[in-house]
Amino acid sequence: MNFSFETGKTYVVLGGNGSGKSTLLKAALGYAPLSEGKVLFFSGEKEVKQESIYKYFSFCSPYMELYEELSLHELVKFHSGLKPLRSQLDTQEFISKIDLEKAAQKPVKYFSSGMKQRVRIGLALLSDTKCILLDEPISNLDRKGVEWYQNLIKTERDNRTVLVASNHTEEEYFFCEEKLNIEDYRK
């Protein structure tokens, strides 16, 4: 695959189960080794080294682990110490935006899968990063959760590069400007 993602544009990578969508996202972030080729990152004209790209990216997937022993409040506070939140959000405002105020002091290990996915999406979309990678973001969300995601992505995607990996679930990528089918790039 030879492709350039442009700053501020929104993309969806489509493909069936096992086609390589998640692997592409993980390889792009350096979470999975490349068997060949390379991924280059640029901020303007300057190349960004692999060890520094975490500053530019947020990532969300249904298999992403959370620190489940922490309460939601503790988790958000810990995360924001590593990666600042957008618009100077504080922990309580973040929790309000993900609509989990009643669970703020509850350990994350007791959350439902849908609640955990809200946390993951919130951490990705509400962190102050230039690029967001979302791997099947509406996994585990009920109808109300899908509507929440759609509203949040509408307000938080502006001036950011967004890449969504999807199994053809248009509710996940309704906002994407460009579609790539990963199976078109497979040999």
State the pLDDT at residue 187.
60
State the pLDDT at residue 36.
82
Residue 107 forms beta bridges with which residues? 71
CA distance 91 to 104: 10
State the pLDDT at residue 140.
95
Q: What's the predicted TM-score (pTM) here?
A: 0.92
Residue 3 forms beta bridges with which residues? none
Residue 156: what are its φ and ψ, rounded to 5°? Answer: -105, 0
State the pLDDT at residue 44.
83
Kindly give the pairing relationship between strand 131-135 and strand 41-43: unpaired
CA dist 101 to 25, 80, 119, Å? Answer: 31, 17, 12
In the block, tokens 């994407």 appear at: 176
CA distance 76 to 159: 24
- Which one, of 142, 126, 187, 185, lies nearest residue 3 by Cα? 185
Given a contact cutoff of 8 angstroms between Cβ atoms, the answer to whether 47 and 40 are in contact is: yes
- What are the structural domains, with CATH classification, of the chain? 10-184 (3.40.50.300)
Q: What is the pLDDT along the chain (187 residues), one digit of tens a residue?
A: 778 888 899 999 998 888 888 888 888 887 877 888 888 888 888 988 888 888 889 999 999 999 999 999 999 999 999 999 998 899 999 999 999 999 999 999 999 999 999 999 999 999 999 999 999 999 999 999 999 999 999 999 999 999 999 987 899 999 999 999 988 876 6
